[in-house]
Amino acid sequence: MTVEFHSTTVPGRGVLHMIETRSGARLGVLVDHDGTRTILTYGIPPDDPDRVDHEIPLTPDEADHLAELLHSPSVRERLDALERAVAQLSGATP
């Protein structure tokens, strides 16, 4: 199974970004016109694919912290970490 992403405009609200994970879990992030973000979770398997099980509203700082936690290091960041590790193993300092 592949990961699926799609976005839909919700009239009068904003944009709903949906993800279905490889395990079949579904969640969404609703970005309101005012910038408010709400995490939406759905049941597995979905009895009703449009039925939201939980809504978790996030303040801007909560959304920022969550994004930071979920963010994967960039290739550059991973390469820098490897270079530091090699330098430490060889006794040199970067």
The domain segmentation of the chain, as residue ranges, is 4-90
Return all residues near 79 (Cβ < 8 A) that are at least 6 apart: none
The predicted model scores a pTM of 0.71
pLDDT, position 46? 60
pLDDT, position 94? 54
Give yes or no for residue 44 having a pLDDT over 80: no
**pLDDT tier, 50 (very low <50, low <70, confident <90, very high otherwise):** confident
Cross-strand partners of 6: 18
For the segment 7-40, what is each residue's pLDDT rounded down to a tens digit?
A: 999 999 999 999 998 888 899 999 999 999 999 9
From residue 58, how far is each of 15, 79, 88, 90 by CA, in Å?
15, 33, 40, 45
